[in-house]
Amino acid sequence: MIVRRNFLRLAAGFLFASLSTTSYAVGVEPMLRMKTVTYRPRLPNWPDGLRLRLVLLADFHACDPWMSAARIASIAEKANSLQGDMVLLLGDFLSGMRLCTGHVPPEDWAAALSGLSAPLGVHAILGNHDWADDHEAMARGKGPLLAQRALEGIGVPVYDNRAVSFEKDGHRFWLAGLGDQIGPLRPMDDLPGTLAQVSDDAPVILMAHEPDIFPGVPARVAITLSGHTHGGQIRLFGRSPFVPSRFGSRYIRGHIIEGGRHLIVSAGLGMSGIPVRFGAPPEIVVVELGGEAAA
């Protein structure tokens, strides 16, 4: 039998552990535990001599106090220090989270991102929240979206089912980006139409906010880069109770290889739904292509 004193000790310990865990998940991991993760995939048919360093930033979900304009500016500064050839923004700039003190206006978070720079530029796609939380666009039933206007206002091109060619180290490659696959009005992605714009056999880097497109991506694409999942946002004992993907945890985070095709999914930076991250700290992702080591 548990005597009253022992019961109170157990209850107090349980309460302390619960409060400590909650405090960590709300105030520590999402705000103070940002890390940099580097992948060096060895891609089939990648040109010898083409070395490309990509810095990926996904899922800002701008809102106070969790992802303020000041914090976004500090993330941009950190991203610049990683010296990428390109910076790729993988969607979900807006946040519909109700448990916040206010939403950061698009012009403010865009100004915070305006300091991003890279030799081959900064490039973006949009995500499902950039549609769902843009009430004016939802009412109109069409774009342009607030996030798109904000990004283009600072000189960042938004890829909406578009492919553009680049050259580095004497080699040509393509950067392609899809429209959002979920689309609260309708799916906006057009993978066949996007790849039809590629006019030669140079490698293609594909930006797709949701990784669910990956099973349908042809081997013609060298690598697919995604966000959206937040790494599960909450992971308990190695599992996530909810992953926003019809494939569950199959594409939750990291470097995935299927049938010789490569996908990298960022756990992202912000939060949606509830202001909690546990076991899935925010991250900046670096992808090094054409190096010696694989990861």
β-bridge partners, 52: 289
Q: In whole angstroms, give the CA distance from residue 198 to residue 163.
A: 7
Rg over CA atoms, the chain:
20
- Mean pLDDT confidence for 24-45: 78
State yes or no: pLDDT of 246 exceeds 90.
yes
What is the Cα 220 distance to its own chain's centre? 23
- Mean pLDDT confidence for 21-37: 65
Contact 47, 171 (CB under 8 A): yes
pLDDT value for 20: 42
Contact 277, 30 (CB under 8 A): yes
Q: Which one, of 181, 103, 178, lies nearest residue 146 by Cα? A: 103
CATH entry 3.60.21.10 includes domain 35-289: yes
State yes or no: pLDDT of 21 exceeds 80.
no
Q: Quickly tell me which residue has 């305006």 as its tokens.
A: 114
Q: In whole angstroms, give the CA distance from residue 8 to residue 155.
A: 60
- pLDDT grade for 31, boundaries at 50, 70 and 90: low
| Whether this model's pTM surpasses 0.85 | yes
State yes or no: pLDDT of 12 exceeds 60.
no
Q: CB neighbours (10 Å) of residue 27? A: 14
pLDDT value for 94: 96
Comparing 24-33, 40-49, 74-83, 145-154, which segment has the lowest mean pLDDT? 24-33
pLDDT value for 1: 41
| Per-position DSSP letters for 180-198, written without gaps between them | PSS-SSS----HHHHHTT-
Mean pLDDT of the chain: 89
In the chain, count H helices and then E strands: 8, 13
Q: In whole angstroms, give the CA distance from residue 65 to residue 105.
A: 13
Residues 17, 27, 20, CA angle at the centre, nearest 5°? 5
State yes or no: pLDDT of 16 exceeds 60.
no
Helix (H) or strand (E) holding 111: helix 106-113
Which carries the bigger pLDDT value, residue 10 or residue 75? 75
Amino acid (one-letter) located at 58: A
Q: CB neighbours (10 Å) of residue 216? A: 9
Q: Quickly tell me which residue has 């995939």 as its tokens.
A: 41
Query: Which two three-digit tokens encode residue 6?
Result: 């022992």
- pLDDT grade for 2, boundaries at 50, 70 and 90: very low
Residues 116-143 as b or e (16 or more Cβ within 10 Å = b) = bebebbbbbbbbbbbbbbbeebeeeeeb
How far CA 81 is from CA of 76, 147, 223, 270, in Å, comes to: 9, 25, 24, 20
State yes or no: pLDDT of 168 exceeds 70.
yes
Q: In whole angstroms, give the CA distance from residue 256 to residue 246.
A: 16
- Mean pLDDT confidence for 146-153: 98
Amino acid (one-letter) located at 294: A
The residue ranges of DSSP E strands in the chain, in sequence order, are 35-39, 52-57, 63-64, 86-89, 102-103, 122-124, 162-168, 171-177, 204-207, 221-226, 254-258, 261-265, 283-289
State yes or no: pLDDT of 189 exceeds 80.
yes
How far CA 210 is from CA of 95, 150, 263, 287, in Å, comes to: 16, 21, 11, 18
- pLDDT grade for 96, boundaries at 50, 70 and 90: confident
